[in-house]
Structure 1
C-alpha cells in the first residue's frame, strides 16, 4: 500500500518535458548539478529522521518534525543589481529543480506516516528518493531523449509544421520584435513562449527569425498604409454622419467642437483631418451652388413664359402674377427681385443684340448691292474696252489689206 501510494505521488511529480533552446543548454547543465545535490541532501536528512520511528502527525506539530516542505532550509538568492537575461533563465531553472525535490519528500513522508510505516520502510524510501533523483536528472539532463519523444508525439497529435511556423511569426509580432533586430537581443523575449518551443530545430527558428526581421519593415509599411486607409474611410463616414452640421460656412474648429470626441476623429492626424474636411465643405458649396443655379434657371424660365414682361416692366407690377407658381416659391424672397432685374437686363441685351443684328443685316445687304453695282460697272467697262480693242484690230487689218491692194495695183495695173 505504501509503495503504491509513493509511486503515485512520484508519478504526479513527474515534470512534462519541453524543448529547450540550444542557447540555454549550457546554463541548464550547470544548474542541474547544484539543484540535484541540494535535493538529495535534503531527502537523505528526511530519511534519517524517518528511520528513528513512527511520528504521529498533529496539526500543531511544527513542520520541521513532520518532514514537510517547510522543514527544508530556504535558500536566499541575492539578485544582482541589473541581472542579465541569461542570469534570469539560470535562476528560474534552479528554482524549478529545488522545488521538485522537497515536494517529493513531503509526499513520501506523509504517505509513510499515515500508513504506519516501520523502520524497514526507510530502505524503500531511499530507493524512491534515488528514483526521483533519476527522474529529475532525466527531466533536466537528458533533454535530447525527452525532446525526441515529445517531438514524435507532436508530429502525430500536435499542430502541423506550417501552423507552428505561422504561430512562431505571430509570436515574434506580439513580442515586438523590430525589423533588422539581432537574434541575441530578442531571444530573452521569446525563449519561454510555448510557440518558441513548438519549433524543435534551432536552425529552423533562426531561419524563420532572420526572414521575419528582413521582411518585417515592408510588412509594417503595408500595415501602416492599410491602417491609414481604414482611418481615412472611417473619417469620411464620420463626415457623412455629420452632414447636417456641415454647410458652406462651417469651419474646422466648429466641427471639432462637436465631433472631436469621436474615435474616428482622433484616429487621423490633424493635417489629414483638415484636408478631408475642406474637401467636404467644398463639395457642399458646389452642391449648394448647383442647386441655386437650378432654382434661378427655373425662375427665369417662369419669367420667359410670361408674355407680359418686356424690357420696361417693373417687378412690383408683375410679381402678383407668379405667387402661386412653385418656381416662384422656391426662390428666396430677397433674391426674387434681383433675379427679375437680371432677367430684364438680359431682355434689354437681347433686344440690343437683335437690333444690332438687324442693322448688320441691312448693312450687309447694302454692301452686297453696292458690290453688285460695282461688278456690273466693271463688267461694262471691260466690255467697252474689249470692243475698242476689237475695233482697233479691225481697222489695222483693213489698213493692211488696203496697203496690200495698192502694192498689187502698182505692180500690175490690170488688177483693177
Structure 2
C-alpha cells in the first residue's frame, strides 16, 4: 500500500477534477477503499478513478465484508496499479477482477544501500562513475551552478519562472526529436501548472532544479508519498547537451533522496534507457477492471475495455509508440524545430586581429541560435562563461563570429 499517496490526496483529486471533469459528480464506494471515481459517460455504467492516466501509482483495498450492492450492473476501471505495491484484493463471487498489463516501470530500492556512494559504486562501473563526476565538474567549471529542491515552500515568482522554462525546455527537446509529447497538450499542461504549486506547499510534490546563474537549465517534477519519490516528468535545455545534464540531475536528486530517508525511487511508467540503467528492479503497471459478473452490460463493457487496453499494450510492445508520436507531431500546427546555427571553424589569430575589426556582440536572446555552439566551446576549452566574449568581424563578406575566452579564441563562419 502506498502510504500518503499524493495521487489520491484531497488536493490532487480536487484540482484534477476541477481541470478535467468540472462539476461532474464523484463517487466513493465502501467496498473499494483508497480511490474515488467518476463516470466518463453518463449513459455507460463505467466508473474510472479520479486522476486517470496522470497518476503514477495507485493502490487500493477491496472489502468482502462490505455491501457490494451499489456496484451491481457497473464496471470500475482503476489506472496505474504498480506491481510492487499491488495488494491481494479479492472480490465477491458475483464480481470479477481483470488485471491488464500496461507499461513497464523501473524503481530503485534505496533502502538496499547504505548511502549514495554505496549505490553509485554498486550500480555503475568505475569508468562510468568517473565520467559522471567529470560531467559535473565541467558544468561547475564553466557556469555558476546551483541545485535547488523546492518542497514545502516556493515563491509564486520562482514557480512561474520555473514552469515557463520547463515548458520551453520540453517543447524544444521534443520538437528537436520531431515527436509529440502529451504533457505539452494544453489541458494537461494547465493541470500541472495549476496543481503543482499547492502540492509543493503540502509536500506532496516537488520541483528539483539545476540553475545556471538565475536560469533554470534542468527541471524535474516529482511526487512524494511517505517514503516513495515518483519521478514524474523531467527535461533539460538541449543547448547544454555536451554537459550531460540528465545524469547530473539524477545524481543530485538521488543524493537528496538518500539524505531525506526516501526508500524507493520510482522512475514511473514508460521505458527509457536511463531508467533501466539507474533502476535496480523492473516492474509492470496494471489497469484493474472490477465488474459485475452477473450483468451482461458490465461483462460486455469489461471485455471491450480489456481488448482495447491489450491492443494499446501490443502497440507499445511492438515499439510503435515513437512512430505514432512522430506522426502526431507532424500533424500538430505551429511546432518549430530547434533552430541551431550551422557554423564551421575557420582559421583565425586573435592576437593579430586589430581591435577596430571586431564588434562586441551582446550575449543575449538575439544570438540564441549560437547558444549550443558557445556552450560547446566553453566545454571543450574548460572556460567559464564569465570570461566569455562574443565578437563579430566587421566589413567581412561572410558572417564570422569570434568566441573569446580567457585562454582560447576561435572563429566560426555562419553557413546558414
Please report the TM-score for the alignment, with normalisation by the length of structure 2.
0.21
Return the structure number with greater relative CO, CA threshold 8 A, min gap 6: 2
Higher relative strand content: 2
Larger Rg: 1
